[in-house]
């Protein structure tokens, strides 16, 4: 089964474009390493990160902070379910298939990290950036006061991050190049029941076709509330992929900043709080269909049933989440911030402002643990799909409800803390 759209009833019916995992391994003169793994997957389940991490720490002595796993968030990749919560509502057959696939994926990623670390030679690294305009904010204030406060609908006036950061790594023997590029746009511009990398997959393959001896890797941005418009067909997805590849080529022609060492990597966790969970009485009302915190009574009812089941099993509902934050300093030229979850654009816009003076700033989302939308304080105040309704869907973990508005300060605070710890001396 393909992951992402709950409405699908049939397994994948063929392939639009192949899916890839790719790795870029870097090591500075002092021996500090960084492996960036990009994947055409819906997300990185926490258990996948944990298992791959444990194995690469053991096999390759790669510190956890040196491993970055990113998901393009294509909705045309395989279903990944690894926790009891995620598995329990599946049929026996589907459970077996996804479990077997996740095991193979884990092995493949560990081998990929090992191969990339083994294949090293002196390289030059440069950074530049350009812009692409097809991502649009997808939250529109609902003119109907009776409906949800915000609709999932194009909003040409909402916040966006059109930056296309590009890291070029070139080496001589054999002459090759890696192009790592980012963009903040949901990778869901086509609807097919086939394997497909969506616009990010097209962008990578165009760059690899048009530039000899090149590996192109897509690092997802803070695209939680950004969609590519127009959208809906394979042709539109290909067109957005071409647009993004063209922006990457523009960046390659722009003035390059030579990136030097040392590499300074950091990985930390910050506790995020949820808003108080509904009471048992509230949950029973939700289940009975006589109350709902928002307009979708059916979704509220399914979620309430899950939470009540947890209570009946004697579990307490989750109050906090241990959220991973990763930072990388490339000398004094570039800072890469890798946030977990479906990070919304406010994080990259804010961090780019606050981190001025640290060289170029690249903020990425969908890293290491993609378990929920990560709303900002603003989105939590506004309501709608990302901060509120999406929390009622099953991911790896059962969420009791929306996050507390302190989420934004906690995450941003952790980023600053890690960057202080790794500040150049
Ligand atoms: Zn999403």
pLDDT (tens digit per residue) in 145-200: 888 899 999 999 999 999 999 999 999 988 899 999 999 999 999 999 999 999 99
Counting every residue written for the chain, the total comes to 425
Before 8, cis peptide (omega within 30)?
no
Tokens describing residue 18:
């192949």
Query: Mean of the per-residue pLDDT values for the chain?
Result: 96
CA–centroid distance, residue 94 to ligand 1 (Å): 22
Residue 7 pLDDT more than 90?
Answer: no
CA–centroid distance, residue 341 to ligand 1 (Å): 9
CA–centroid distance, residue 224 to ligand 1 (Å): 6
Reported as a pLDDT band with limits 50, 70 and 90, residue 294 is confident
pLDDT value for 135? 98
CA–centroid distance, residue 386 to ligand 1 (Å): 9
CA–centroid distance, residue 154 to ligand 1 (Å): 15
CA–centroid distance, residue 4 to ligand 1 (Å): 8
User: Which residue ranges make up each domain of the chain?
Assistant: 21-276+318-421, 280-312
pLDDT value for 410? 98
pTM of this prediction exceeds 0.85: yes
pLDDT value for 396? 80
Region of residue 297 (phi > 0: left; psi between -120 and 50: alpha; otherwise: beta)? alpha
Lowest mean pLDDT among 194-208, 211-225, 295-309: 295-309
Percent of all residues in the chain with a pLDDT value above 70, rounded to a whole number = 100
Which pLDDT tens digit goes with each residue over 23-46? 999 999 999 999 999 999 999 999
Mean pLDDT of the region 307-330: 95
CA–centroid distance, residue 79 to ligand 1 (Å): 14
Which pLDDT tens digit goes with each residue over 110-143? 999 999 999 989 999 999 999 999 999 999 999 9
Reported as a pLDDT band with limits 50, 70 and 90, residue 85 is confident
Tokens describing residue 64:
């956890």
Lowest mean pLDDT among 14-23, 59-68, 104-113, 392-401: 392-401
Is residue 401 within 8 A of residue 391, CB to CB? The reply is: yes
CA–centroid distance, residue 73 to ligand 1 (Å): 7
CA–centroid distance, residue 402 to ligand 1 (Å): 16
CA–centroid distance, residue 55 to ligand 1 (Å): 28
Q: State whether the Cα torsion 243-245-248-250 is positive or negative.
A: negative
Tokens describing residue 405:
């508005």
CA–centroid distance, residue 186 to ligand 1 (Å): 7
CA–centroid distance, residue 221 to ligand 1 (Å): 12
Spatial distance between the Cα atoms of 332 and 317, rounded to a whole number of angstroms: 44
CA–centroid distance, residue 40 to ligand 1 (Å): 14
Residue 243 pLDDT more than 80?
Answer: yes
CA–centroid distance, residue 160 to ligand 1 (Å): 16
Place of tokens 């060492």: 261
Q: What are phi and psi of 150, to 5 degrees?
A: -130, 140
Tokens describing residue 368:
């290491």
DSSP 63-85: -GGGEEEEE---SSSB----SHH
The residue among 420, 419, 422 whose CA lies nearest residue 264 is 422
Cβ neighbours of 349 (radius 10 Å): 18
CA–centroid distance, residue 339 to ligand 1 (Å): 15
Residue 418 pLDDT more than 90?
Answer: yes
Which pLDDT tens digit goes with each residue over 362-407? 999 999 999 999 999 999 999 999 999 999 987 788 999 999 999 9
CA–centroid distance, residue 374 to ligand 1 (Å): 11
């Amino acid at each position: 089964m393909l992951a992402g759209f709950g409405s699908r009833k049939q397994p994948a019916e063929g392939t639009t474009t192949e899916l890839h995992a790719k790795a870029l391994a870097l090591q500075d003169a002092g021996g500090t390493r960084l492996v960036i793994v990009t994947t055409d997957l819906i997300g990185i389940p926490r258990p996948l990160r944990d298992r791959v991490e444990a194995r690469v720490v053991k096999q390759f002595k790669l510190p956890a902070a040196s491993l970055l796993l990113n998901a393009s968030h294509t909705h045309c990749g395989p279903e990944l379910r690894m926790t009891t919560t995620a598995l329990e509502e599946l049929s026996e057959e589907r459970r077996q298939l996804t479990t077997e696939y996740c095991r193979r994926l884990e092995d493949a990623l560990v081998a990929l990290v090992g191969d990339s670390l083994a294949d090293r030679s002196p390289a030059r690294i440069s950074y530049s950036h350009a812009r692409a305009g097809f991502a649009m904010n997808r939250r529109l204030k609902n003119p109907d006061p009776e409906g949800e406060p915000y609709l999932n609908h194009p909003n040409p006036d909402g916040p966006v991050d059109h930056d296309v950061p590009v890291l070029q790594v070139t080496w001589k023997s054999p002459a090759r190049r890696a192009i790592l590029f980012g963009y903040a746009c949901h990778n869901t511009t086509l609807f097919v029941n086939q394997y497909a990398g969506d616009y990010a997959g097209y962008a990578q393959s165009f760059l690899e076709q048009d530039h000899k001896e090149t590996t192109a890797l897509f690092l997802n941005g803070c695209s939680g509330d950004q969609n590519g418009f127009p959208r809906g067909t394979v042709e539109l997805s290909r067109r957005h992929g071409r647009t993004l590849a063209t922006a990457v080529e523009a960046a390659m022609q722009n003035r390059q900043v030579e990136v030097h060492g040392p590499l300074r990597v950091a990985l930390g966790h910050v506790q995020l709080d949820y808003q108080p969970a509904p009471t048992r009485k509230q949950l029973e009302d939700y289940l009975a269909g006589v109350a709902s915190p928002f307009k979708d009574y059916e979704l509220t009812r399914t979620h309430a049933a899950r939470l009540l089941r947890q209570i009946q099993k004697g579990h307490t509902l989750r109050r906090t989440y241990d959220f991973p934050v990763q930072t990388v300093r490339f000398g004094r030229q570039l800072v890469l911030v890798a946030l977990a979850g479906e990070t919304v654009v406010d994080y990259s816009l804010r961090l780019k402002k606050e981190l001025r003076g640290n060289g170029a700033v690249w903020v990425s989302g969908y890293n290491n643990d993609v378990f929920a939308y990560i709303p900002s304080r603003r989105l939590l105040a506004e309501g709608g799909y990302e901060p509120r309704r999406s929390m009622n869907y099953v991911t790896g973990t059962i969420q009791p409800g929306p996050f507390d508005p302190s989420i934004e300060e906690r995450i941003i605070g952790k980023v600053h803390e890690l960057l202080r710890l790794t500040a150049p001396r």
